[in-house]
Amino acid sequence: MSSMTTQSQDPTGAEIVVRALKDHGVRHIFGYPGGAVLPIYDALFQDDAIEHILVRHEQGAAHAAEGYARSTGKPGVILVTSGPGATNAVTGLTDALMDSIPLICITGQVPTHLIGTDAFQEADTVGITRPCTKHNVLVRDVKDLPRILHEAFYIATFGRPGPVLIDIPKDVQFRRAPYVGPSNIRHRTYQPRLKGDLKKIEQALEMIAAAKKPVFYTGGGVINSGKLASHLLREFVRMTGFPITSTLMGLGAYPANDPQWLGMLGMHGTYEANLAMHDCDLMIAVGARFDDRVTGRLDAFSPNSKKIHIDIDPSSINKTVRADVGIVGDVAHVLDDMIRLWRARQLRVDGAALSAWKLQIDGWRARKCLAYKTSNDVIKPQQAIERLYELTKGRTTYISTEVGQHQMWAAQFYKFDEPNRWMTSGGLGTMGYGLPAAVGIQVAHRDALVIDIAGEASVQMVMQELSTAVQFDLPIKVFILNNKYMGMVRQWQQLLHGGRYSHSYSEALPDFVKLAEAYGVVGLRATKPEELDDRIREMINTNRPVLFDCVVDQMENCYPMIPSGAAHNEMILNDNSEEAAVSEAGKVLV
Ligand X SMILES: Cc1ncc(C[n+]2csc(CCOP(=O)(O)OP(=O)(O)O)c2C)c(N)n1
Q: Does 186 bind another protein (CB under 8 A)?
A: no
When CB distances are held under 5 to 8 angstroms depending on the partner's kind, the choice from ligand X, Mg ion, another protein, none that residue 585 binds is another protein
Q: Does 481 bind ligand X (CB under 6 A)?
A: yes
Catalytic residue among 15, 30, 58, 405: 58
CA distance 408 to 290: 18
Residue 443's Cβ-count burial label (10 Å; 0-12, 13-18, 19+) is buried
DSSP string, 31-92: E---GGGHHHHHHHHT--SSEEEE-SSHHHHHHHHHHHHHHHSSPEEEEE-STHHHHHTHHH
In degrees and rounded to multiples of 5, residue 81 shows phi and psi of: -85, 180
Order of strands, sheet of 397-401, starting from the edge strand that comes earlier in the sequence: 422-423, 397-401, 449-455, 477-482, 546-551, 522-526
Q: Does 488 bind ligand X (CB under 6 A)?
A: yes
When CB distances are held under 5 to 8 angstroms depending on the partner's kind, the choice from another protein, Mg ion, ligand X, none that residue 190 binds is another protein
Q: Is 214 helix (H, G, I), strand (E, B) or coil?
A: strand
**Total binding residues toward ligand X, as defined by CB under 6 A:** 20
List 404, 419, 436, 545, residue binding ligand X (CB under 6 A): 404
Q: Does 485 bind ligand X (CB under 6 A)?
A: yes
CA distance 161 to 387: 35
Q: Does 434 bind ligand X (CB under 6 A)?
A: no
CA distance 231 to 473: 34
CA distance 490 to 494: 6
In Å, the largest CA–CA distance within the chain is 80
Indicate the helix (H) or strand (E) that contains 326: strand 325-328
Q: Does 456 bind ligand X (CB under 6 A)?
A: yes
Burial 406-420 (b: 16+ CB within 10 A, else e): bbbbbbbbbbbeebb
Binding positions for another protein, 131-150, rule CB under 8 A: 131, 134-135, 138, 140
Q: Is 463 an annotated catalytic residue?
A: no
Q: Which is nearer to ligand X, 92 or 146 (CB)?
A: 92
List 100, 483, 491, 564, residue binding Mg ion (CB under 5 A): 483
Q: 190-229 mask for another protein (x: CB under 8 A)?
A: x---------------------------------------
Q: Does 571 bind another protein (CB under 8 A)?
A: no
Contacts of 124 (CB under 8 A, 6+ apart): none
Stretch that binds ligand X, among 195-203, 272-280, 366-374, 424-432 (CB under 6 A): 424-432
Dihedral, CA atoms, 128, 132, 134, 139, nearest 10 degrees? -20
When CB distances are held under 5 to 8 angstroms depending on the partner's kind, the choice from Mg ion, another protein, ligand X, none that residue 126 binds is another protein
CA distance 225 to 102: 12
Catalytic residue among 134, 143, 170, 380: 170
Catalytic residue among 121, 203, 494, 554: 121
Q: Is 493 an annotated catalytic residue?
A: no
Stretch that binds ligand X, among 26-34, 310-318, 404-412, 524-532 (CB under 6 A): 404-412
When CB distances are held under 5 to 8 angstroms depending on the partner's kind, the choice from ligand X, another protein, Mg ion, none that residue 564 binds is another protein
CA 288 distance to own-chain centroid: 13
Binding positions for Mg ion, 485-504, rule CB under 5 A: 487
Q: Is 120 an annotated catalytic residue?
A: yes
Q: Is 488 an annotated catalytic residue?
A: yes
CA distance 32 to 331: 36
* C-alpha dihedral sign at 315, 266, 461, 515: positive
Q: Which is nearer to another protein, 328 or 354 (CB)?
A: 328
When CB distances are held under 5 to 8 angstroms depending on the partner's kind, the choice from ligand X, another protein, Mg ion, none that residue 458 binds is ligand X
Q: Does 434 bind Mg ion (CB under 5 A)?
A: no
Q: How far is the CB of 314 from another protein (least distance, A)?
A: 5
CA distance 571 to 424: 24
Q: Is 290 an annotated catalytic residue?
A: no
In degrees and rounded to multiples of 5, residue 310 shows phi and psi of: -105, 120
Q: Which is nearer to another protein, 454 or 581 (CB)?
A: 581
Q: How far is the CB of 385 from Mg ion (least distance, A)?
A: 14
Q: Are 123 and 456 a contacting pair, CB within 8 Å?
A: no
List 241, 314, 429, 529, residue binding another protein (CB under 8 A): 314
List 11, 31, 169, 455, residue binding Mg ion (CB under 5 A): 455
Peptide bond into 560 cis (omega under 30): yes
Q: How far is the CB of 230 from another protein (least distance, A)?
A: 25
Report which residue type is found at 401: T
Catalytic residue among 488, 539, 561, 571: 488
DSSP string, 263-285: EE-STT--HHHHHHHHH-SEEEE
Beta-bridge partner residues of 583:
none
Q: 438-477 mask for another protein (x: CB under 8 A)?
A: ----------------------------------------
Q: Which is nearer to another protein, 299 or 507 (CB)?
A: 299
When CB distances are held under 5 to 8 angstroms depending on the partner's kind, the choice from Mg ion, another protein, ligand X, none that residue 219 binds is none
Catalogue the active-site residues: 58, 120-121, 170, 488
Residues of the shown chain interacting with another protein in the complex, contacts defined by CB under 8 A: 126-127, 130-131, 134-135, 138, 140, 155, 187-190, 267, 292, 296-299, 313-315, 317-319, 322, 492, 495-498, 562-565, 582, 585-590
Which residues contribute to the site for ligand X (CB under 6 A)? 402-406, 429-432, 455-458, 481, 483, 485-489
